[in-house]
């Protein structure tokens, strides 16, 4: 009973149908680009470097002084995102280090005060919009630079003695930080036209952590939705006690085993993933995923009803490095001919069984089922339970017919050429009755 009562707590009066409508473009588009860019692209060894290496403000200052992305051309970024098949993008307007890519009235710790002297967010929004992509802002709730943000376990100067916290936090005032946070989010929601998504990051409730009280999350979310009525907001404001305290959940850097649920009901979700482990540009990282892994990640996400937000960490000069470009290009080659198996798709209808070494996606509007061949079969593939249910079958990449035969066991056998077609993951498109 307790759980039921809690589940009915709501902030907004929006109906489930209205919510679905607000989220419909995002559910359809499925694939977006995350961009982590800030001063940490200069040390080029992880966006948490200020914390990991206990770098003081004054020692970190050299990155501010030398920040000069002279090759920054967001139109080029947008074109690469679009060519990769991505339909929306989310950029770090401010990450935990506190540096703002946008021109905020409330701080001098911002791009306009560096050598580049530009509001990088303004140019970014214009460029991505011009290429037809939806735009989203990542905004860090955590701030390792603001003098009023109290220090805790995620602060760079983390200490083991609790007395030490008291000493360091003396004079720091979260009330003042909250005002700053509200002011900046108001600027972002007001000064850049229509914003499609807000990605807040992050709460860590518990002893010596920060929760919805620290951000005044309910009021913050209300302000955001008032200024941008159509916006979609993620779930990191610690508003889990409300049904509508976040539009989608954000499993990060791990594989989701099945469609996430809340009180037994399937919910919207978006997994965010990196190419190599770090979110910020990391020069020497060697753990880059290959194109096939990344495509499997995308297909598997859609096969469980989710979205993929795939991250690029641009260099301090303002470029996507060659390894990132190569992967975006590889995904784009596949998406160009197989995008139909991703956009508007979701989990296959209940009762349709997945053959070994395949993933299934399904478009409920066109009633087309997509069989993604992760490991190419030898001559034929059997689909259990589909006898008499398929009108036509073809390879998606070249639209060439695939012959079907009923099997004795009530399934369907599809003949495929012995040689694997020249496409990373071939897809069979089945037109269902």
Strand order in the sheet with 368-373: 358-363, 368-373, 427-432, 390-395
Q: Tell me how many degrees the CA angle 240-241-245 measures, rounded to the nearest 5.
A: 55
Assess 139 for contact with ligand JFZ (CB under 6 A).
Answer: no
CB of 279 to ligand JFZ, least distance (A): 5
Assess 279 for contact with ligand JFZ (CB under 6 A).
Answer: yes
CB of 355 to ligand JFZ, least distance (A): 34
CB of 138 to ligand JFZ, least distance (A): 7
Residue 365 backbone dihedrals phi, psi, to 5 degrees: -75, -40
CB of 15 to ligand JFZ, least distance (A): 29
Phi-psi map region of 238: left, alpha, beta (phi>0 left; psi -120 to 50 alpha) = left
Assess 239 for contact with ligand JFZ (CB under 6 A).
Answer: no
Residue nearer to ligand JFZ on the CB measure, 32 or 426 = 32
Bridge partner residues of 236 (DSSP): none
CB of 36 to ligand JFZ, least distance (A): 6
Query: Taking CB under 6 A as the criterion, which residues in 247-276 touch ligand JFZ?
Result: 252, 272
Tallying the residues shown for the chain, one arrives at 433
CB of 116 to ligand JFZ, least distance (A): 22
CB of 387 to ligand JFZ, least distance (A): 44
Residue nearer to ligand JFZ on the CB measure, 253 or 353 = 253
Q: Is 101:147 a contact under the CB 8 Å cutoff?
A: no
Query: In angstroms, what CA-CA distances link 302 with 29, 208, 375?
Result: 10, 37, 18
Residue nearer to ligand JFZ on the CB measure, 252 or 321 = 252
User: Which tokens is 169 given?
Assistant: 């936090």
Q: Contacting ligand JFZ (CB under 6 A), which of 29, 119, 143, 201?
A: 201
Cβ-closest residue to ligand JFZ? 202
Count of residues in contact with ligand JFZ, rule CB under 6 A: 7
Instruction: Give the CA radius of gyration of the chain.
Output: 24
Residue nearer to ligand JFZ on the CB measure, 133 or 272 = 272
Q: Directed axis angle between helix 322-338 and helix 74-83, to 10°?
A: 40
Assess 149 for contact with ligand JFZ (CB under 6 A).
Answer: no
Q: Is 347:304 a contact under the CB 8 Å cutoff?
A: yes
Q: Contacting ligand JFZ (CB under 6 A), which of 29, 47, 300, 429?
A: 47
x-or-dash string of contact with ligand JFZ, 79-108, rule CB under 6 A: ------------------------------
Residue 33 backbone dihedrals phi, psi, to 5 degrees: -110, 130
Residue nearer to ligand JFZ on the CB measure, 47 or 347 = 47
Residue nearer to ligand JFZ on the CB measure, 80 or 310 = 310
Assess 310 for contact with ligand JFZ (CB under 6 A).
Answer: no
Q: Is 153:67 a contact under the CB 8 Å cutoff?
A: no
Residue nearer to ligand JFZ on the CB measure, 55 or 396 = 55
CA distance 259 to 329: 29
CB of 132 to ligand JFZ, least distance (A): 25
Q: Tell me how many degrees the CA angle 11-13-17 measures, rounded to the nearest 5.
A: 120
CB of 348 to ligand JFZ, least distance (A): 29
Residue nearer to ligand JFZ on the CB measure, 200 or 228 = 200
Q: Contacting ligand JFZ (CB under 6 A), which of 72, 202, 275, 282?
A: 202
CB of 342 to ligand JFZ, least distance (A): 22
CB-count burial class (<10 Å; 0-12, 13-18, 19+) for 166: exposed
- Provide the strand spans (E) within 294-421: 307-312, 358-363, 368-373, 380-383, 390-395, 404-406, 412-415
Residue nearer to ligand JFZ on the CB measure, 309 or 427 = 309
CA distance 338 to 427: 7
Bridge partner residues of 233 (DSSP): 198
Bridge partner residues of 232 (DSSP): 197
Residue nearer to ligand JFZ on the CB measure, 137 or 279 = 279
Q: Which residues bind ligand JFZ (CB under 6 A)?
A: 47-48, 201-202, 252, 272, 279
């Amino acid at each position: 009973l307790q759980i039921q009562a809690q589940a009915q707590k709501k902030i907004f009066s929006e109906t489930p149908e209205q919510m679905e409508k607000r989220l419909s473009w995002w559910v359809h588009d499925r694939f977006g680009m995350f961009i982590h860019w800030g001063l940490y692209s200069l040390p080029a060894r992880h966006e948490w470097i200020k914390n990991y290496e206990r770098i003081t403000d004054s020692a970190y200052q050299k990155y501010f002084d030398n920040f000069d992305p002279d090759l920054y051309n967001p139109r080029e970024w947008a074109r690469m995102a679009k060519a990769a098949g991505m339909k929306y993008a989310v950029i770090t307007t401010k990450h935990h280090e506190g540096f703002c890519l946008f021109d905020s009235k409330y701080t001098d710790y911002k791009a306009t005060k560096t050598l580049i002297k530009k509001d990088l967010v303004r140019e970014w929004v214009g460029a991505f919009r011009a290429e037809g992509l939806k735009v989203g802002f990542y905004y860090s709730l955590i701030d390792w630079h603001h003098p009023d943000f109290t220090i805790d376990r995620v602060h760079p100067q983390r200490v083991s003695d609790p007395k030490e916290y008291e000493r360091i936090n003396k004079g720091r005032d979260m009330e003042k930080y909250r005002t700053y946070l509200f002011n900046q989010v108001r600027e972002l929601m007001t000064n850049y036209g229509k914003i499609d998504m807000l990605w807040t990051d992050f709460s860590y409730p518990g002893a010596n952590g920060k929760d919805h009280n620290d951000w005044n999350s309910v009021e913050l979310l209300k302000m955001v939705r008032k200024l941008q009525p159509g916006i979609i907001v993620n779930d990191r404001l610690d508003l889990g006690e409300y049904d509508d305290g976040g539009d989608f959940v954000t499993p990060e850097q791990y594989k989701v085993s099945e469609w996430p649920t809340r009180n037994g009901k399937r919910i919207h979700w978006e997994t965010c993933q990196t190419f190599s482990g770090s979110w910020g540009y990391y020069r020497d990282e060697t753990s880059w995923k290959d194109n096939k892994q990344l495509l499997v990640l995308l297909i598997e996400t859609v096969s469980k009803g989710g979205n993929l937000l795939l991250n690029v960490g641009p260099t301090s000069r303002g470029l996507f490095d060659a390894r990132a470009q190569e992967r975006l290009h590889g995904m784009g080659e596949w998406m160009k001919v197989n995008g139909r198996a991703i956009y508007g798709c979701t989990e296959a209808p209940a009762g349709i069984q997945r053959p070994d070494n395949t993933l299934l996606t399904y478009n409920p509007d066109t009633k087309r089922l997509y069989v993604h061949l992760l490991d190419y079969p030898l001559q034929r593939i059997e689909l259990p339970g589909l006898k008499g249910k398929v009108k036509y079958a073809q390879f998606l990449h070249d639209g060439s017919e695939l012959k079907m035969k009923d099997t004795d066991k009530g399934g369907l056998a599809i003949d495929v050429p012995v040689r694997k077609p020249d496409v990373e993951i071939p897809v069979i498109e089945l037109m269902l009755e």
